[in-house]
Amino acid sequence: MATGAERYDVKARAGWSRTRADGSQYAVETDRGAYEAERWACAQLGGTGLRDDAVLTGDEGYDFVVTLGLVPVRVDVVWAGLHANGGARGLECHLIVNLDSPKLYRSEVLLLVAGQPGDDSWRLLGGIPTVRFLACAHLRDHGFGPKLSMPAADLWPVERLFRVRPAVQPTTTITYSDSEFDF
């Protein structure tokens, strides 16, 4: 199992530039925060398949899977980052996703997690089905070019995201009530 710092070191040894294509900077603190947010969210939701190895390729567009009844749901975690003063962000921040991110076509749910690496301040700000995010997010430039953005205050609580339960009919066909999805 790798730490966020080890993930960063693997990238640095491979010659990755500290500057991303959009002009933002890779940093040990960023990899560490994202890693801890993923691990915390997976544990809170009873997820499986968390990819915690130190790899150059990144994940496959999702971080872990939560199984609802018989249905596996791929979940991607976005860490809210920190304020300039080092404090954890809250509901004033945004869920921000790059336009070319694999999470837009490989995950079913996006979660926004806030917290500060190294302490127990982690909390789930909310989440949203990826298809709903694509329909409702706006292009916004937060300082490094336009990205899809949605205010954290507009995200759904985790209870709403994961309340869908399959209704097994006598024929064993799995059906869902349209009202449960809210799409």
What pLDDT sits at residue 138? 94
- pLDDT beneath 50: ranges in the chain: 54, 164-183
The full 3-state SS of 70-139, as one line of letters, equals: CEEEEEEEEECCECCCCCECCCCCEEEECCCCCHHHHCCEEEEEECCCCCCCCEEEEEEEHHHHHHHCEE
From residue 168, alpha-carbon distances to 60, 132, 177 in Å are: 31, 26, 12
Which residue range forms the structural domain that includes residue 92?
Answer: 4-181
How big is the CA angle at 63 (ends 177 and 57), to the nearest 5 degrees? 140
- How far is it, in rounded angstroms, from Cα 152 to Cα 89? 10
Q: Indicate the number of domains in the chain.
A: 1
Six token digits for residue 26: 């890779």
Q: 153-168: per-residue pLDDT in tens?
A: 999 998 888 874 434 3
What pLDDT sits at residue 57? 56
Q: Number of H helices and number of E strands within the chain? A: 6, 9
pTM: 0.77
3-state DSSP assignment of residue 166: coil
